[in-house]
């Protein structure tokens, strides 16, 4: 790779940035059943491929067609694959004996594992934590709560740019070594643990469930159910609500609308009969 990069045509930082923003803006715009994100992938690489194969129209068309094949991965960390593909296309354009099937095969092999990383870190950890923080601030009347969702976009753009440059710089061999080393697994595990801690802390703080039930016995102080529950486990009812929601998601599927409306209806009925308050 290094020998090839000392001669011929090379991509600049601006070229790589342009690929990322074309990808970021069009990732989900051209989805189809047979190609999914393939057209968006080819569209993102098109200016870079045109520069690499500027003296070979046939090779340019071949490369463009190659990247229109089926592709589906997470949009932010998935840009790492764009960087790797660009690195390999640059090698090929500069004379390396690199069959197009190798580039396609590497994309196909990486898009699943990389999607797992992005879904865990971006959609499973970062977004829930920041959105929960935004809701918390909004509930307290803090205007910052309205701006935190925009922070998600800024962070995602930064991570995406870093990933595409990372993939381009390291190339295919280094990325495969990194994935085999187990480092990715450790990152996902750490992020998952951090996310669980954050969601647990937020749940215990902001999920409020209490019961006003009490029983009066003649010649004795009233028995307050809430006081008994607090003596057994502090916050037993909020914990029970969270565990029920968790059980529902794991056994019945993540149907958020059913859970939301179910909780609203149950809360209204329980409040009407004085069970919850």
3-class state of residue 131 by DSSP: helix
Half-sphere exposure of 126 (CA within 13 A, CB side): 20
| Mean pLDDT, rounded, of the chain | 83
Residue 133's CB is within 10 A of a number of other CB atoms, namely: 16
Tell me which of 228 and 15 has the higher pLDDT. 15
Question: 134 φ, ψ to 5°?
Answer: -65, -45
The pLDDT tens digits of the residues spanning 119-176 come to: 888 888 888 888 888 888 888 889 988 998 899 999 999 999 999 999 998 775 555 5
Domain ranges of the chain: 4-193, 209-272
Q: Is the pLDDT of residue 71 over 50?
A: yes
Calculated CA dihedral for residues 267, 236, 253, 32, nearest 10 degrees: 90
Mean pLDDT score, 73-97: 89
Q: What is the pLDDT of residue 1?
A: 42
The pLDDT tens digits of the residues spanning 90-114 come to: 988 888 777 888 888 888 888 888 8
Distance, CA of 206 to CA of 47 (rounded, Å): 49
Half-sphere exposure of 77 (CA within 13 A, CB side): 19
Q: What is the pLDDT of residue 274?
A: 86
Q: What is the pLDDT of residue 8?
A: 78
Distance, CA of 182 to CA of 139 (rounded, Å): 41
The pLDDT tens digits of the residues spanning 174-200 come to: 555 555 666 556 655 665 676 677 667
């Amino acid at each position: 790779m290094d020998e090839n990069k000392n001669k011929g045509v090379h991509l600049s930082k601006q070229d790589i940035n342009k690929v990322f923003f074309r990808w970021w803006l069009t990732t989900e715009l051209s989805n189809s059943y047979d190609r999914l994100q393939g057209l968006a992938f080819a569209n993102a690489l098109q200016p870079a491929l045109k520069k690499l194969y500027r003296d070979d129209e046939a090779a340019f068309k071949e490369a463009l067609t190659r990247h229109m094949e089926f592709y589906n991965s997470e949009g932010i960390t998935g840009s790492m694959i764009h960087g790797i593909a660009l690195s390999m296309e640059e090698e090929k354009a500069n004379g390396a004996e690199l069959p197009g099937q190798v580039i396609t095969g590497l994309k196909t092999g990486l898009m699943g594992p990389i999607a797992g990383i992005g879904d865990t870190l971006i959609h499973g950890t970062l977004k829930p934590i920041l959105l929960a923080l935004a809701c918390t601030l909004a509930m307290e009347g803090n205007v910052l709560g309205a701006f935190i969702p925009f922070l998600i976009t800024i962070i995602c753009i930064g991570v995406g740019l870093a990933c595409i440059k990372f993939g381009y710089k390291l190339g295919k061999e280094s990325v495969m070594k990194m994935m085999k080393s187990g480092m990715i697994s450790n990152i996902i595990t750490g992020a998952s643990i951090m996310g669980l801690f954050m969601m647990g802390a937020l749940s215990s703080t902001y999920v409020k469930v209490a019961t006003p039930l009490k029983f009066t016995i003649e010649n004795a102080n009233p028995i307050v159910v809430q006081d008994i529950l607090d003596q057994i486990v502090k916050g037993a009812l909020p914990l029970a609500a969270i565990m029920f929601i968790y059980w529902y998601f794991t056994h019945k599927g993540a149907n958020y609308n059913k859970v939301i409306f179910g909780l609203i209806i149950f809360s209204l009925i329980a409040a009407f009969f004085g069970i919850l308050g």
